[in-house]
A and B are shown apart, each in its own frame.
Chain A
Amino acid sequence: MAVHRLLPGLAVLGIGAFFVRAFAPVIGFNHLLLAIALGFVLTNAVGVPARLEPGIATHKLWLGAGIVLMGASVSLGAVRDAGWLVLLAILAVVGTTLLVVELLSRFVFGLTDRLGSLLAAGSSICGVSAVVAVAGAIRAREEQVAYAAATVLLFDAVTIAIYPVIGELLGLSGRVFGIWAGISMFSTGPVVAVGFAHSDIAGQWATITKLARNALIGVVVLAYASYYAREANRTDGGRSAPSAGAASSTIRTLWSEFPKFVLGFLALAVLSSLGAFSAAQRTSLENAYNWLFLVAFVGLGTEIRLDELRQTGVTPAFVVLLALLVASTLSLAVLLLAFSSS
Chain B
Amino acid sequence: MSLDGWESGVTVVRSRWTGLERDWQSVVVAATIIVTTDLLEVQIPW
Binding site for B on A (CB under 8 A): 1, 21, 60-69, 72, 259-261, 263-264, 268, 277, 280-281, 284-288, 290-291
Contact = CB atoms under 8 A, between A and B. Distances in A.
B22 interface: yes
Given A1-B18, A280-B43, A291-B44, A285 B37 contact: yes
The 7 closest A-B pairs by CB, nearest first: A64-B26, A68-B30, A260-B23, A65-B29, A264-B27, A287-B46, A287-B44
Contacts of B21: 260
Given A1-B18, A291-B44, A284 B27 contact: no
B26 A284 contact: no
B25 A281 contact: no
A264 B26 contact: yes
B38 A281 contact: yes
Contacts of A60: 22
Nearest to A64: B26
A285 B22 CA distance: 21
A285 B23 contact: no
B25 A61 contact: yes
23 contacts: A1-B18, A61-B26, A62-B29, A64-B22, A65-B26, A65-B33, A67-B26, A68-B27, A68-B30, A260-B24, A261-B27, A264-B26, A268-B30, A281-B38, A284-B42, A285-B33, A285-B37, A286-B46, A287-B44, A287-B45, A287-B46, A288-B44, A291-B44
A69 B36 CA distance: 13
Interface of B: 18, 21-27, 29-31, 33-34, 37-38, 42-46
Given A61-B22, A61-B26, A261-B27, A69 B44 contact: no
A72 B38 CA distance: 12
B30 A263 contact: no
B26 to A, nearest CB: 3
A261 B30 CA distance: 10
